[in-house]
Amino acid sequence: MIAHHPSIDMLLDYATGSLPTGTRLVVASHAAFCADCRQQISRFEAVGGAMLDGIEPIPVRERVFHTVMAAIDNLPAPQAEQPASDLAKVLPFPLRRYVDSASRWRSAGLGIDEIELKLGSNQHRASLLRIRAGRAMAMHRHQGLEYTVVLAGSFNDGGARYDAGDLCLGAGPQHMPVADGGQDCICLTVLDAPIVLTGRWGRLLNPLLRWQHRRALTAA
Amino acid sequence: MAARFRVVSAGLSGLAANPMAVIARQGGQLLETNDTPLRQDDRYSDLIEAVAHRRDRVAFAELFHHFAPRLKAFGMRSGAEADVAEEMAQEALISVWRRAETFDRSRAAASTWVFTIARNKRIDMIRRTSKPKLDAEDFMLINPGGGSAAADSSAIANQSHEQIRELLAHLPAEQKLVLEKAFFEDKTHNVIAEELKLPLGTVKSRIRLALSRLRVALQGVES
């Protein structure tokens, strides 16, 4: 049962196409699990459709018609679908294109594995995180916003439970998600600023995290 | 399914007799004349299905003549120059041809489906990267709404589509303006507030008011 949804504003921004890549993936991943939000997005898109219908048309040059008719005759044959890797199979459709057969979990320490997603945008940093069953992610707080969508398993954060499809919004207050569902928890995490570890040992890692985040943003 | 297909085919054989009837040419520019509004979207759904089932070029040409000038206007409202807006319209229509099989008239009106394609093209063109095209990112694809794509749910989708159009036409100007900025200019709530020099709360409440006026009609749109 999905209990934690994106805000209605976020769904509208998704439908109008105004979300940047990172948060768009957050909404799309949630919606892959959530029929209610899919329906809400469809309603907003229906408004977009009606507005497109009612827009004052601007004639196109006739050349465009011939270009399009020629193009549809010369479309490359559709490429055979690559068989999905084992990793891709557990991901909702919108995320599958961001991983390939070379994507490998790398240890981020403390029982957490990570695969960084190449967004081609420097506004956000997106990763898949795997928290091993029973382990906790280091206590941290955020300088910016963190969006986490549970893709498999579940976690508990300060008494709130997040199951597959749930969106967890982290901002400001310290939190420490624990994968308590008896299985590994896999999440999509999108960050718009590096996290700050606040535990005793975690603090020592902060310079490293900031460096990683900077590097990730410049590489993107 | 088979029955639905037969109905569609029968509708289109009538159409094929005079395929270019709706297209008028004037000064080298292509224009289209208006159908009666109520049947209009139904017709475009038929045409998309004709492309899906038979790669019907005549049906596609009619779709082109209806949607290309609207897509160009949509692109220009987003701030694109005429050339770029035409390129976007061109790319969107090629996607209409390629992806016609994914159209499901029980889930969306034809113009809604075309809107989502154009929206994704606009995002791709803004990103201008070799990153995965949005084309194939549609989460609706793996979660098709359950089972029966009954003809009457298509009628409901089209009826509410017409209702939405009608209601949109009568929205107060200030509400219409924020919706246009959101949908045509792909502005977030924050950016709209900045541009109109209004508090964010005012922008949100105008959008909400506009959408709540459309709510009754929107409830007919099932995913």
Q: Which residues of B touch A35 (CB under 8 A)?
A: 143, 223
Q: Which residues contact B212 (CB under 8 A, 6 or more apart)?
A: none
B99 touches chain A (CB under 8 A): no
Predicted pLDDT at A204: 66
Yes or no, beta carbons of B131 and A118 under 8 Å apart = yes
Closest approach of A70 to chain B, Cα-based (Å):
10
Query: Residues B79, B31: contact at Cβ < 8 Å?
Result: no
d(C-alpha B54, C-alpha B57), whole Å: 9
Q: Which two tokens stand for residue A170?
A: 């982290």
Using an 8 Å CB-CB cutoff, list chain B residues near A54.
Answer: 165, 168-169
To the nearest whole Å, the CA of A136 is away from the closest chain B CA by 30
pLDDT of residue A187: 93
B38 reaches A (C-beta below 8 A):
no
**Distance between CA atoms of A111 and A132, rounded to whole angstroms?**
6
Q: Is B31 on the interface with A (CB under 8 A)?
A: yes
pTM, two decimals, is: 0.78
Are B141 and A93 in contact, with CB atoms under 8 Å apart?
yes
Chain A contacts of B90, Cβ < 8 Å? 64, 67-68, 71
Residue of A29, A38, A43, A118 to mutate, testing the B interface (most B Cβ within 10 Å of its Cβ):
A43
pLDDT, tens digit only, all 223 positions of chain B: 333 333 333 333 333 333 333 333 333 333 344 444 446 778 999 999 999 999 999 999 999 999 999 999 999 998 889 999 999 999 999 999 999 998 988 888 999 999 999 998 888 877 654 455 555 445 444 333 333 333 345 555 666 777 888 888 888 889 889 988 888 887 888 889 999 999 999 998 898 888 888 776 666 554 3
Cβ atoms B114, B67 nearer than 8 A = yes
Chain A residues within 8 A of B118 when measuring between CB atoms: 52
* A6 exposure class (CB count in 10 Å sphere: 0-12, 13-18, 19+): buried
Which residues between 120 and 139 in chain A have a beta carbon less than 8 angstroms from any beta carbon of chain B? 120-121
What residue of A is the nearest CA neighbor of B204? A9
Q: Do A50 and B76 touch (CB under 8 A)?
A: no
What is the C-alpha to C-alpha distance for residues A111 and A134, in angstroms, rounded to an integer? 9
Beta strands per DSSP E along B33-118: none
Per-residue b/e over A164-189, b at no fewer than 16 CB within 10 Å?
A: bbbbbebeeeebbbbbbbeebbbbbb
Does the beta carbon of B146 lie under 8 angstroms from any beta carbon of chain A? no
> What is the predicted pLDDT for the residue at B171?
87
- What is the least distance, in Å, from the CA of B199 to any CA of chain A? 15
Task: Report chain A's terminal Cα–Cα distance, integer Å.
Answer: 35
Angle of helix B173-183 versus helix B200-213 axis, rounded to 10: 100
Contact B172/A58 with Cβ under 8 angstroms?
Answer: no
Whether B165 and chain A come into contact, CB under 8 Å, resolves to yes
ipTM above 0.95, yes or no: no
Distance from the B180 Cα atom to the nearest Cα atom in chain A, whole angstroms: 8
Say if the Cβ atoms of B86 and A64 lie within 8 Å: yes
Instruction: List, run by run, the mean pLDDT of 10-residue segments along chain A (220 residues).
Output: 90 90 92 89 90 94 96 82 78 85 84 85 84 77 80 86 90 69 89 64 65 58
d(CA A98, CA A118): 7
Matching residue, tokens 């080298």: B28
